[in-house]
Amino acid sequence: MFHEENCPFCHTDKDKDQNIIFENETCYFLQHNKEQDVLEGCGVIVPKKHHANAFELTKEEWNDTYELLQSPKGYLEQEFSPDGYTLGWKVGEVSNQFIFHSRFYVIPRYDDEPLAGKGVRYWLKHPENKRIKE
């Protein structure tokens, strides 16, 4: 299946707040206007074809994701001068993925953020997140 009817990442043109910043043969780098307030400069790299998650990407899409990561990095450094990045994929509802079109998060991070120094593992490694086994 190439595109899903109600998937926002299969139909980026239907959302006027979605901006295609870069693209190559198989992927887009997108920035959404409504995500720029707290997560300044954030974007996602998505395959043009509908794939549920990163495990379904072809090698070509991985390569094109890599290539697009390099382009935004130069662009983001010029536009926003971040102090670092948080990069990653969510896979499955347990990981907070509710739109099942693979996307690679590119989140610039800044020294003056209230949560500076904390990454995705910060929340996950809290003792209250430990599984309870019988």
Q: Which residues bind Zn ion (CB under 5 A)?
A: 4, 7, 9-10, 50, 101
CB distance 12 to 28 below 8 Å: yes
The gap from C-alpha 106 to its chain's centroid, in whole angstroms, comes to 5
Between 90 and 101, name the residue whose CB sits nearer to Zn ion: 101
Between 7 and 91, name the residue whose CB sits nearer to Zn ion: 7
Q: Least distance from C-beta 98 to Zn ion, angstroms?
A: 13
Q: Least distance from C-beta 23 to Zn ion, angstroms?
A: 15
Return the amino acid letter for 109: R
Is residue 40 classed exposed, middle or buried when 0-12, 13-18 and 19+ CB atoms within 10 A define those classes?
Answer: middle
CB distance 105 to 68 below 8 Å: no
Q: Least distance from C-beta 101 to Zn ion, angstroms?
A: 3
Residue nearest to Zn ion (CB): 7
Between 101 and 109, name the residue whose CB sits nearer to Zn ion: 101
